[in-house]
Structure 1
């Protein structure tokens, strides 16, 4: 008996050590990518020059490039990566399906429709378009959740309704692009592709506040999220208020997702990739929330650096994450089909 207990304790310590090491390495890699974004550009500055610019001791080109262009871009990528990664992982874990991410469920598309309508049809300011994106994302998830309720909550029904909403909203975006004025099309297309270009520090405050509030909520509910993964009946038998927990998780995730989308546009596949990658790295036994956020940060920052400096033409970050995510989606579908998950 004592030997079995000791074996369980050793296994738990091993899993905890792995969780700490993986998170430490992910955080270290994120710091390296963040520093690289501050150093790299049309003009490459040394680390002492970057530090001087951040501390206010530099002037001229270095001060402008670092504080006005590169720092807001890096912070936007950092916050968006955390938001997309944690929100995607929350939906995938809660709905027990790696395909149940905000991109496929139509949440980010809801934000996109509202923003594109403001840009092309109403021709409003960027602030109004961002606010509309938040409202659009929240509206999409409310409609999806309400239609999936029925007498009891159904995960399969929610996913199917979400896919239907996503297809309908994608058609609406295509219609708006055809009807919009030519002078506004480049702005709308750049926003839809997902981009960190033009990020400004004074516009990142709402996203930063939302991330600081919602991430701790999701982390605290991480244990309940793992219980929800066992299924509706099992979670209820363990005394969990499934409706309340699910609503809190959805509100927190959608708030982060909508704010991030309003700032950077729908950066494709980050919400889809972060959770499964983090789960592979960390393994089972501990919450996947923080690792998913860190993976999201590394995906966004890494993809932006690739898009900016790996090719002769500069690509928005969403183009690069789309290229990375599409093969992974095909791999996941093939893997699920072999296991019978799609039958």
Structure 2
């Protein structure tokens, strides 16, 4: 976040930064810091935390590194609902964000209904099918969008921090302050289920608790998409990277920090390091995540061993 705010095409010294945030107006610099750089860094960190925790919960609870919200269709469901709200209903701002949350929950419910109580691999397959259907919905509405709506729709296809503002940050901060503590309290179920179904049952872990934990993860992914669009592969990457850094053990704090670092770092690269073109952050995270997904599939590391 320090690099994102202070460096880049317009650099800011540390003393000037503290003068700006304390209320001193520096012509040019105050606007760039308070309305562009700092909001994007803060929103990127919060969105990264939401996606990182959601991905870690999905992967650990379902014991499959492919079972992240952006792979099994939750994020794309949010995008499809948002695009339909923009083009089909003419909604904007908070109406679109609410539609995105509803779409994510609906996609998660559909995946759960199709997969039933079967093994995790069937849930992943159901998610891929739902994701394909949601992509068709997005493409249909995109072809019907006028020029202005098409620009808005692009944000909901790739994920972007270009529209970061303090009102969105405030709402997201409040929602995360409510969801994250509850998720942390329920995380014991996640740690137990990683040991295997039989041992989890013997320790008294109930399936309803796991369903509640997955519902919280779905909400976290949904609010992340509602704030910045479906930033690709952040939820997918955060858990494995955090586990590697933490000796193979899943921690929500580690996944949250990795998710924040991935989004903020990718946004800095998209804005400052790619030839002067301000790409959406989802373009960079997609470039990072797609090879990792292919590597997991090619090496057969799509199912985790029970301890």
Q: TM-score, normalised by structure 2?
A: 0.93
| Residue of structure 2 equivalent to 1:311 | 274
| Residue of structure 1 equivalent to 2:218 | 254
Match among 156, 161, 178 for residue 213 of structure 1? 178
State the shift of 1:323 in Å.
Answer: 0.7
Q: Select between 308-317 and 222-231 the one with higher mean Cα deviation.
A: 222-231
| Residue of structure 2 equivalent to 1:121 | 88
| Residue of structure 2 equivalent to 1:31 | none
Q: How far does the alpha carbon of each residue in 1:256-279 deviate from its partner, in whole angstroms, 9 at most, with x for none? A: 111110111100011111101111
Residue 292 (structure 1) aligned with residue 255 (structure 2): yes
Q: Is the 8 A contact 1:232 1:242 kept in 2?
A: no
Give 1:59-208 correspondences, 5 Å limit: 59-149=26-116, 152=117, 154-208=119-173
Residue 280 (structure 1) aligned with residue 244 (structure 2): yes
State the shift of 1:295 in Å.
Answer: 0.6
Q: Select between 177-186 and 47-56 the one with higher mean Cα deviation.
A: 177-186
State the shift of 1:234 in Å.
Answer: 2.6
Secondary structure of 1:103 counterpart: coil
State the shift of 1:219 in Å.
Answer: 2.1
Structure with more helix by fraction:
1
State the shift of 1:41 in Å.
Answer: 4.7
Q: In structure 2, do the counterparts of structure 1 residues 326 and 317 end up closer, same or farther at CA, with 3 Å as the change threshold?
A: same
Secondary structure of 1:101 counterpart: coil
Q: Which runs of 4+ in 1 moved over 4 A?
A: 337-341
Q: How far does the alpha carbon of each residue in 1:235-255 deviate from its partner, in whole angstroms, 9 at most, with x for none? A: 112111122x21221222111
Q: Is the 8 A contact 1:223 1:287 kept in 2?
A: no
State the shift of 1:327 in Å.
Answer: 1.2
| Residue of structure 2 equivalent to 1:332 | 296
In the alignment, structure 2 segments of 5+ residues that lack a partner are none
Q: In structure 2, do the counterparts of structure 1 residues 213 and 58 end up closer, same or farther at CA, with 3 Å as the change threshold?
A: same
Q: In structure 2, do the counterparts of structure 1 residues 69 and 235 end up closer, same or farther at CA, with 3 Å as the change threshold?
A: same
Q: In structure 1, what is the Cα distance between the partners aligned to 2:153 and 2:260? A: 24
Q: In structure 2, do the counterparts of structure 1 residues 340 and 58 end up closer, same or farther at CA, with 3 Å as the change threshold?
A: closer
RMSD over aligned CA atoms reads 2.0
Q: TM-score, normalised by structure 1?
A: 0.84
Q: In structure 2, what is the Cα distance between the partners aligned to 1:299 and 1:192? A: 19
How many equivalent residue pairs?
A: 304
Q: In structure 2, what is the Cα distance between the partners aligned to 1:91 and 1:210? A: 19
Secondary structure of 2:64 counterpart: coil
Larger Rg: 1
Q: In structure 2, what is the Cα distance between the partners aligned to 1:338 and 1:147? A: 20
Q: In structure 2, what is the Cα distance between the partners aligned to 1:277 and 1:328? A: 11
Residue 238 (structure 1) aligned with residue 212 (structure 2): no
State the shift of 1:160 in Å.
Answer: 2.0
State the shift of 1:191 in Å.
Answer: 3.1
Q: In structure 2, do the counterparts of structure 1 residues 52 and 241 end up closer, same or farther at CA, with 3 Å as the change threshold?
A: same
Q: In structure 2, what is the Cα distance between the partners aligned to 1:168 and 1:295? A: 30
Q: In structure 1, what is the Cα distance between the partners aligned to 2:244 and 2:300? A: 15
Q: In structure 2, do the counterparts of structure 1 residues 47 and 266 end up closer, same or farther at CA, with 3 Å as the change threshold?
A: same
Match among 228, 240, 243 for residue 264 of structure 1? 228
